[in-house]
Amino acid sequence: MDKIQIIDKISKKATDSRPLYVIIYEKLFDLIKEGHFKRGQKLPGEHTLANQFGVSRGTLRQALLILQEDGIIYNYQGKGNFVSQNKKMFGIGLEKKGNILNIANRGKVKLTDDIEVFFESPNKMLQSELKIQAHEIILVVKRVYKVDKKAVSYFISFIPYKNINKEEIDIEDHRSLVDYLDSTFYNKVANSQSEILLTEAGDFIADKLNIREYTPLILIEEDLYKTTGEVLAFYKQYFLSEYFSFYINRK
């Protein structure tokens, strides 16, 4: 059976406050996760997908860009979008707990004033990563780091609201909040698991780092765990490869 037949037109309920591109993202995420599109397989073209979902190509492209930034698909210019063949390149347990920036660049990287803090409901990818339900609320903290005057890294922290100690942090003080997440917060971490991936900059991250769209990036996705085994937080960390080196020491 042709794979495209598994896609239905989107019927957005009046009670669904999610943007259409988020709904499309989650539909494609599920189709890939369930194996309807295999690793290395080319997705149907944008025109075909947009028609099948019953949305504009602009809406579809927003969903595809998020999938690219998550490392789930990649765009081969002139050929189309493909499911990533090997999402997990390396599985590593960090030998030293703490902000990966400090480990990788020895403190040369500085936080900029480009910080966003807000609450939202988790999409399906975050529900899976954080092991939480759709009705739960998460704190999202996005920030840009620089070396000298050049933006070199973009971080996103996703933290279930139930894991936040309101007595330890002031959410309104964004810089102090980031300092807390990059240092003190790691004292709560029993262990972490990271995946190192290759991805490309979508238009949003390209704008944040002042680079061209489709510029290759290193993406590290990090799950932080409590002593109980529960997920404390999920971090997504994008790096310009010319500024960072990552090594795995084996003994």
Burial class, 69, CB count within 10 angstroms (exposed 0-12 / middle 13-18 / buried 19+): buried
**Whether residue 237 sits in one domain with residue 190:** yes
**Whether residue 120 sits in one domain with residue 65:** no
CATH code of the domain covering residue 50: 1.10.10.10
Residue where one domain finishes, among candidates 83, 106, 122: 83
Residue where one domain finishes, among candidates 34, 55, 83: 83
Q: What is the pLDDT of residues 140-189, one digit of tens each?
A: 999 999 988 899 999 999 999 998 877 778 889 999 999 888 888 888 88
Domain containing residue 47: 3-83
- Asked if residue 21 is part of any domain, the answer here is yes
Token representation of residue 117: 């803090």
Q: What is the pLDDT of residues 218-241, one digit of tens each?
A: 888 889 998 888 999 999 999 998
Give the total number of structural domains in the chain: 2
- Asked if residue 166 is part of any domain, the answer here is yes
Segment 95-124 mean pLDDT: 74
- Asked if residue 97 is part of any domain, the answer here is yes
CATH code of the domain covering residue 226: 3.40.1410.10
Token representation of residue 250: 């084996």
Q: What is the pLDDT of residues 88-98, one digit of tens each?
A: 433 334 444 55
234 contacts 222 by C-beta, under 8 angstroms: yes
Residue where one domain finishes, among candidates 53, 83, 113: 83
- Asked if residue 193 is part of any domain, the answer here is yes
Distance of alpha carbon 80 from alpha carbon 72, whole angstroms: 14
